[in-house]
Amino acid sequence: MRLHNKVALITGGASGIGEETSYLFAAEGAKVIIADIHKEKINRIVENLRKRGHEVLGIQCDVSKELEVKQLIYQSIEFFGRLDILFNNAGAILPKKLQAISSEEWDHLFKVNVKSIFLTVKHGLDYLKNSEGSIINMASMTGVVGQQNNPAYSATKGAVIALTKAMAIDFAPYNVRVNSLSPAGVNTPLLETWIAKQHNPEKARHAQDRSHLLGRMASSLEIAKVVLFLGSCDSSFITGENIVVDGGATIGYAAGP
């Protein structure tokens, strides 16, 4: 019960890594707020968690919109009275060559992947300060090394890593820690959708697996466990870090058979 009585807000908490983290955090004793744009998915998870006796709140929210985020924080505090962990996980992809990206698509991706973090922290910080909080931001390996035909996404995730460090400096005096994590390929609906759209999905999946030194993608649970570490006091002396959780995908070049 590493999160006993902690209140955790998880954006994008209704699918993939966010969903897995919602279950893991609840199992570790946290009271969880699941914020997502998909109401039906939220309802299903909330129902499952309540059946298991967990305290959970589901809120439909587009985290790229300030009014909705303001309302999200307000409702969370009204319901649970405090906020200890903020996992900024909601994200979208835009796998297109730079010249094929419209100005609107570029702006929208930055709103969902980067501005959302500015908004949740802006409106949630005062509560996190009161509880020596932990902010965890979802970046990506593509923010560390770049990725072919994915310039907008890479740029947003690089921005997440830089924003994390800047916030860690400013919030350290309040004992609020801020870290990011950078997975490579993770088996989630987001990645499955991307693979399915490729010219040869089987080949694309194989290439994804092979790009990790460990020869496979991560499971959502393997990522959620790192989020748990960053959210709990097990990581009490870590702030401003970007934890790369990539099965060795970024450390070198494996040219073997």
Q: Is 163 in the site for ligand NAD (CB under 6 A)?
A: no
Size of the chain, expressed as the number of residues it contains: 257
Instruction: Assess 17 for contact with ligand NAD (CB under 6 A).
Output: yes
Find the shortest distance in angstroms from Cβ 237 to ligand NAD: 25
Each residue 62-101 as x (binds ligand NAD by CB under 6 A) or -, in order, gives xxx------------------------xxxx---------
Spatial distance between the Cα atoms of 25 and 16, rounded to a whole number of angstroms: 14
Only one of the segments 16-24, 26-34, 43-51, 233-241 lies at the binding site for ligand NAD (rule: CB under 6 A); that segment is 16-24
CB of 257 to ligand NAD, least distance (A): 25
Interface residue with ligand NAD, options 81, 166, 172, 189 (CB under 6 A):
189
State the nearest-atom distance from the C-beta of 77 to ligand NAD, in Å: 19
DSSP symbols for the chain:
-TTTT-EEEEETTTSHHHHHHHHHHHHTT-EEEEEES-HHHHHHHHHHHHHTT--EEEEE--TT-HHHHHHHHHHHHHHHS---EEEE---------GGG--HHHHHHHHIIIIIHHHHHHHHHHHHHHTTT-EEEEE--THHHH--TT-HHHHHHHHHHHHHHHHHHHHHGGGT-EEEEEEES-B-SHHHHHHHHTSSSHHHHHHHHHHTSTTSSPBPHHHHHHHHHHHHSGGGTT--S-EEEESTTTTT------
Residue keyed to tokens 């985020």: 69
* 12 touches ligand NAD (CB under 6 A): yes
- Are the beta carbons of 182 and 143 closer than 8 angstroms? yes
Complex with ligand NAD: residue 134 or 182, whichever CB lies closer: 182
**Which of 14, 85, 167, 230 lies at the binding interface for ligand NAD (CB under 6 A)?**
14
Is 190 an interacting residue with respect to ligand NAD (CB under 6 A)? yes
Pick the stretch among 6-14, 123-131, 167-175, 236-244 that binds ligand NAD (CB under 6 A). Answer: 6-14
Which one of 23, 127, 153, 174 is the catalytic residue? 153
Task: Residue 13: name the closest of 68, 115, 88, 74 by CA.
Answer: 88
The verdict on 211 binding ligand NAD (CB under 6 A) reads no
Which residue type does 67 have? L
Q: Does 38 bind ligand NAD (CB under 6 A)?
A: yes
Residue 253 designated active-site: no
Min CB(85)–ligand NAD separation in Å: 16
Residues 126-145 that bind ligand NAD (CB under 6 A): 138, 140
Which residues carry out catalysis?
153
Residues found near ligand NAD in the complex (CB under 6 A): 11-12, 14-18, 36-38, 61-64, 89-92, 112, 138, 140, 183, 185-186, 188-191
